[in-house]
């Protein structure tokens, strides 16, 4: 072969190695992602269990909604103190990061008795599943059997809609529902 042919041969090999290098890098990256993903899937904990462990605090921790006897300081598990059932209390109980908190669990807790509800700071009405709990409600005078529904919003990859407007409308909506629920309760008590 001529000298020109040899040079062409070497140039072709270089192009081959540039392409091969790129393909090998992509394959290695894909391999890492696939194996890592497989490992993640094998070791994943069902989100229902994780959510249940987090929601436990709502009903058993006096810094959340659990009723605590003011004299004996005894905490009544699964007994909700209606006076604590506020957004402020929820913020002190479970607050996700302001910026990236939508990637964590967020909750909306609704008491069937009166239909009152509170939600965490990054709840965007994207409930993936719900959990129900039988509870007692302490209204200041009596223990009333009721049910609580916890709507769970799992990890979101993005915020649905405009964040600020959504948050504002969520809070307004919750306040409106709570006001209506309080009115219903007062009506029911007056009738009773």
Q: Rule CB under 8 A: which residues touch another protein?
A: 1, 3, 6, 9-10, 13, 20, 24, 28, 31-32, 35-36, 39, 43, 45, 49-50, 53-54, 56-57, 59-64, 66, 68, 75, 77, 92-96, 104
Minimum CB distance to another protein smaller for 49 or for 134 = 49
Radius of gyration of the chain (CA): 28
d(CA 65, CA 123): 18
Q: Least distance (Å) from another protein to the CB of residue 102? A: 13
Q: Least distance (Å) from another protein to the CB of residue 91? A: 8
From first CA to last CA, the distance across the chain in angstroms is 107
Minimum CB distance to another protein smaller for 5 or for 192 = 5
Q: Least distance (Å) from another protein to the CB of residue 183? A: 31
**H helices of the chain, where?**
3-43, 47-60, 87-93, 163-191
Decide if 123 contacts 101 (C-beta within 8 A): no
Minimum CB distance to another protein smaller for 65 or for 124 = 65
Minimum CB distance to another protein smaller for 24 or for 186 = 24
What are the CA-CA distances from residue 75 to residues 47, 67, 125, 172 (Å)? 28, 6, 31, 32
């Amino acid at each position: 072969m001529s000298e020109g042919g040899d040079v062409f041969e070497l140039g072709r090999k270089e192009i081959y190695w540039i392409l091969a290098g790129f393909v090998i890098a992509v394959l290695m990256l894909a391999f890492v992602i696939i194996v890592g993903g497989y490992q993640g899937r094998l070791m994943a904990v069902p989100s229902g269990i994780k959510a249940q462990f987090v929601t436990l605090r709502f009903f058993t921790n006096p810094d959340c909604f659990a009723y605590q006897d003011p004299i004996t300081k005894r905490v009544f598990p699964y007994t909700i103190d209606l006076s604590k059932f506020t957004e402020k209390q929820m913020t002190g109980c479970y607050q996700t990061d302001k910026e990236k908190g939508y990637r964590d669990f967020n909750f909306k807790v609704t008491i069937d008795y009166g239909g009152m509800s509170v939600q965490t700071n990054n709840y965007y009405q994207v409930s993936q599943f719900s959990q129900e709990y039988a509870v007692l409600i302490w209204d200041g005078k009596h223990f009333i059997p009721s049910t609580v529904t916890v709507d769970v919003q799992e990890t979101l990859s993005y915020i649905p809609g405009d964040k600020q407007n959504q948050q504002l409308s969520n809070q307004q909506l919750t306040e409106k529902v709570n006001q209506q629920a309080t009115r219903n309760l007062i009506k029911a008590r007056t009738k009773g």
